[in-house]
Amino acid sequence: MSATPPHPSMPVAGISPTAAAASHPADLLIRNAKVFTGDPARPEARTVAVRDGRVLALGDDDHATAHLVGPATRVIDVLGRRVVPGLNDSHLHVIRGGLNYVLELRWDGVRSLRTALAMLREQAGRTPKGQWIRVVGGWSAEQFAERRMPTVAELNAAAPDTPVFVLHLYQSALLNRAAVRAAGYTRETPDPRGGQIVRGRDGEPTGVLLAAPGALLLYSTLAKAPALDAADRRTSTRHFLRELNRFGLTSALDAAGGFQNFPDDYATVADLARTGELTLRIAYYLFPQTAGQELADLRRWTQTVRPGDGDAWLRLAGAGENLTWAAADFENFAEPRPALEAGYEAELEQAVRLLAENGWGFRLHATYDETIRRDLAVFEKLAAEGLFPGGRRWLFDHAETVSDASLERIAALGGAVSVQNRMSFQGTAFLDRYGAEATARTPPVRSMLDHGLTLAAGTDATRVSSYNPWVSLHWLVTGRTVGGTALYPAAHLLDRAQALTLYTRGGAQLTGEEDVKGTLREGSYADLAVLSHDYFTVPEHEIPDIESVLTVVGGRIVHAAAEHTGLDEEIPPVSPAWSPVARFGGYASGARQADAMAEVVTESELHRRWRAQRADAVPDRPATAPLDPCFAP
């Protein structure tokens, strides 16, 4: 991987190049920092010196590492900001997300539906004929001031001629008229298994698609939209990685997923790895795509590639998150828990046996304890033959309703768990269906730690949750949804250091890299983030607004903002030029939303006054008659 070219360093607050450092100087020195190292042996520091992509030394004051400054050392004063180890999302669909990022209009972080629809209307004027507008995950109706989803009528008004596809969680998708036509849906189109095309009384599709309970209809409809060519896929991926770097992410475990074929859809990140242009370390998994062919795919992969293939920037981690389609439950909390097929265990056993006998680790999607118990029975059968634990990392993903009894069984088999903040976005739906008592331990993060399990955190972005890790950290610390609904009692919550550890050392443990990743200590990868606000002291409600002002991966500055603007590596402009990202960027930061929210409040007040005047003008209206509660003071 190529390193950032050295830059001459000016003396900073008494630190200047020294002759003693001339033979082995640092490449980079971060000074005047509040460093949370994540290392219990040395939890804090003031300076971080970097050489050859690794931490060379930590200092307790700015003079402790001054002797490492040479003529070519880049010295960066971070002005007393908080520095943390680079974040590691343990379950992110980064490869698939990168291939489509510049095509998507992101409502992540947008705080009013009015603003979201205005973005949609403006993008309709920029999108060329034949292309779609796609809003794909990262938002919930709860985050909007209006507390509701858009209507199909609003999509039609905002974009009468441009196809619009809006995905809402795992539950539904909205299509305007143009998108219904482009997708080819008519009164004759049959409902697919596990999905529903909602129709009006005339039998014509209304533009609403429902996951009933599976999301295949939603995703297969999205797949009908035009794709990028190879050059734009490359640019799109680079911009998505830079967007992740913006939040301090330096590593991710790619959990593969549907519509992500190996090796074709991995070619872009492989090419960026070859040319030294990755700015995020990626450990990836392989996911059989076609029901009925899973074992053939797994067998072929075990004969051609092996976990560990690659390098520190891109390497194969194992198989999953699905091994067989029949074993996959659905995570649509607006629908009842799905009943999986009887007897799927036989096929799952063949898949896991094949992987274990060939030294492959795996990760397995399982939302409900009912699924986890059935899967564990398969693993325990194989354990009796000596195939578990076996020294291979295996884990359950999600595990929202896992029981304590199942956690004990996972621990006995040497398993791990990766949790995601899907409850940030779907917590209210779960609460409505299952009640407060069940919600209070969904997922039981504290219990997972109490059972001694290796535990890591992630987002499961981009099709439901946002890729912003600080939204996930806010959920772990506060137990609240993006709309502010409290889900958990205080005893269930983690403190800020515990939560951050799940995003640093936790992810590194899943890939066996905890000796070089997840903490800042001598010899570890120089992966770190300088934060816009101190995560450990900022008010809880401001945690989702944290960003990185300087992200370093392997000693390279891959993102720089605020007082460090211009220090990062250049990347090509967004392409195509009409891309929503070129106009609106990605996640909508808190600062960017402040003006938009002020407009919403002003408009709501004006509307309230107008309604009040209209009510006063109605003859014989009783003085005590209530106004529309939406506009009540």
Taking only the tens place, the pLDDT of each residue in 520-558 is 999 999 999 999 999 999 999 999 999 999 999 999 999
Burial class of residue 385 in the structure, from the number of CB atoms within 10 Å of its CB (0-12 exposed, 13-18 middle, 19+ buried):
exposed
Tokens in use for 269?
């990140």
pLDDT at 6 exceeding the cut of 50: no
pLDDT digits (tens, 9 = 90+) for 493-516: 999 999 999 999 999 999 999 999
pLDDT at 601 exceeding the cut of 50: no
Q: CA dist 465 to 137, 293, 363, 475, 572, Å? A: 6, 29, 19, 12, 27
pLDDT at 8 exceeding the cut of 50: no
Strand order in the sheet with 362-366: 87-92, 249-254, 281-286, 314-319, 362-366, 394-398, 416-420, 454-458
| Three-state DSSP state, 89 | strand
pLDDT given at position 474? 98
pTM higher than 0.85: yes
Neighbours of 216 (CB within 10 A): 15
Give bridge partners of residue 398 from the DSSP assignment: 366
Residues 6+ apart with CB under 8 A from 614: none
How confident is residue 339, by pLDDT bands cut at 50, 70 and 90? confident
Answer with the residue of higher pLDDT: 602 or 452. 452
Query: Can you tell me the mean pLDDT for 304-330?
Result: 96
| Three-state DSSP state, 458 | strand
pLDDT > 90 in the chain, percent: 84
Q: How far apart are CA 617 and CA 50, in angstroms?
A: 72
pLDDT at 162 exceeding the cut of 50: yes
Q: Measured in whole angstroms, how far is the alpha carbon of residue 187 from the centre of its chain?
A: 37
Candidates 400, 399, 545, 423; CA nearest to 483 is: 423
Query: Can you tell me the mean pLDDT for 566-582?
Result: 97
Query: Can you tell me the mean pLDDT for 65-69?
Result: 92
Tell me which range, 9-23, 69-83, 578-592, is most confidently predicted by mean pLDDT.
69-83
How confident is residue 438, by pLDDT bands cut at 50, 70 and 90? very high
Indicate the residue type of 153. A
pLDDT given at position 622? 42
Average pLDDT value over all residues in the chain: 91
Helices (H), 56-112: 94-100
| Three-state DSSP state, 249 | strand
Q: In 69-101, which positions are buried (b, 16+ CB within 10 angstroms) versus exposed (e)?
A: bbeebbbbbbeebbbbbbbbbbbbbbbbbbbbb
Neighbours of 500 (CB within 10 A): 24
Phi, psi of 355 (to 5 degrees): -65, -45
pLDDT given at position 611? 54
pLDDT given at position 97? 97
Query: Can you tell me the mean pLDDT for 609-633?
Result: 45
How confident is residue 3, by pLDDT bands cut at 50, 70 and 90? very low
pLDDT digits (tens, 9 = 90+) for 255-269: 998 889 999 999 999
pLDDT at 285 exceeding the cut of 80: yes
| Three-state DSSP state, 317 | strand
Candidates 39, 42, 612, 168; CA nearest to 428 is: 168
pLDDT at 608 exceeding the cut of 80: no
pLDDT at 292 exceeding the cut of 50: yes
Q: How far apart are CA 607 and CA 497, in angstroms?
A: 45
| Three-state DSSP state, 111 | coil
Candidates 91, 103, 457, 423; CA nearest to 257 is: 91
Answer with the residue of higher pLDDT: 316 or 604. 316
Neighbours of 27 (CB within 10 A): 24
Range with the lowest mean pLDDT among 155-164, 319-328, 583-592? 583-592
| Three-state DSSP state, 365 | strand
Strand order in the sheet with 74-77: 54-59, 47-51, 28-31, 74-77
| Three-state DSSP state, 15 | strand
Tokens in use for 228?
């990028």
pLDDT given at position 590? 58
Q: CA dist 521 to 27, 48, 77, 456, Å? A: 16, 9, 19, 20
Answer with the residue of higher pLDDT: 315 or 10. 315
| Three-state DSSP state, 59 | strand
55 near 15, Cβ under 8 Å? no
Q: If residue 626 lies in a helix (H) or strand (E), which one and from where to where?
A: none
pLDDT given at position 22? 54
Range with the lowest mean pLDDT among 23-27, 350-354, 525-529, 601-605? 601-605
Answer with the residue of higher pLDDT: 139 or 606. 139
Place of tokens 């006054």: 609
pLDDT given at position 610? 55
1 near 313, Cβ under 8 Å? yes
Cis previous bond, 243, omega within 30: no
pLDDT at 87 exceeding the cut of 60: yes
Residues 6+ apart with CB under 8 A from 437: none
386: left (phi over 0), alpha (psi -120 to 50) or beta: left
How confident is residue 614, by pLDDT bands cut at 50, 70 and 90? low
pLDDT at 198 exceeding the cut of 70: yes
How confident is residue 425, by pLDDT bands cut at 50, 70 and 90? very high
pLDDT given at position 194? 87
pLDDT at 582 exceeding the cut of 80: yes
Answer with the residue of higher pLDDT: 159 or 627. 159
Helices 267-274/230-245 angle, 10° precision: 70
pLDDT given at position 63? 85
